Structure 1
Amino acid sequence: MPGCTIECSNVYVDKDGNELTSPVEYETLGLMGTNCGLTDPDDLARVNFIANDLGIDTIETGAMIAVLMEAGLGKFGDVGFMEEVLKEIKSGSDNGRLWARGNPGRVGAHYQLDRVPVIKQQAISAYDPRVVKGDWYNDDGNCAGCRPHSWQCTEVGLY
Structure 2
Amino acid sequence: MASTTIGDVLPTGGRVFTSIPDLFFIPEFVFGGLVWILVASTGVKHENPMGWVMFVSVFCFVMTTLWFFIFLCGCNRSSSWPTMDVGYHFVATVFYLSASVLLAYITVVEGQVLAPLLGLDSLFDLLFEHRKIYKLHIAAVVMSYLATLFYFMHTIFSAIRWKRS
Pair in the same fold by TM > 0.5: no
Which structure is richer in relative contact order (CA contacts within 8 A, separation 6 or more)? 2
The structure number with the bigger radius of gyration is: 2
If each structure's helix is expressed as a fraction of its own residues, which one has the higher value?
Answer: 2
If each structure's strand is expressed as a fraction of its own residues, which one has the higher value?
Answer: 1
Q: Classify the TM-score, shorter chain.
A: under 0.3
